[in-house]
Amino acid sequence: MRVYYRIRNFVALCRLPSIRWHWKLRNGWYIVGVVYTQTVFGQQRLAALRMAVRGLRDGLRGRMGPWQG
């Protein structure tokens, strides 16, 4: 669930023009590292990958608020 919120909120912030590009780039690499760590070394690898994709999808669609699975 944490991966979902991190990615969704990151994508939502990246869509704002007031956020500087170097913040987006630096945190983009951080998010890639979080997803990599969770999907390679985590105990629930497939669930983490699924939630990462859902977070990306909902962030691009602009869906905010509590997760509705």
pLDDT in tens, 12-65: 999 999 999 999 999 999 999 999 999 999 899 999 999 999 999 999 998 998
| pTM for the predicted model, two decimal places | 0.86
- How confident is the model at residue 68, as a pLDDT? 79
Q: Which two tokens stand for residue 65?
A: 């608020």
pLDDT band at residue 1 using 50, 70 and 90 as cut-offs? confident
User: Is a pLDDT exceeding 90 seen at residue 2?
Assistant: no
Kindly report the number of other CB atoms within 10 A of residue 42's CB atom: 14
User: Is a pLDDT exceeding 90 seen at residue 67?
Assistant: no
- Asked if residues 25 and 8 have their Cβ atoms less than 8 Å apart, the reply is no
- Asked if residues 55 and 5 have their Cβ atoms less than 8 Å apart, the reply is yes
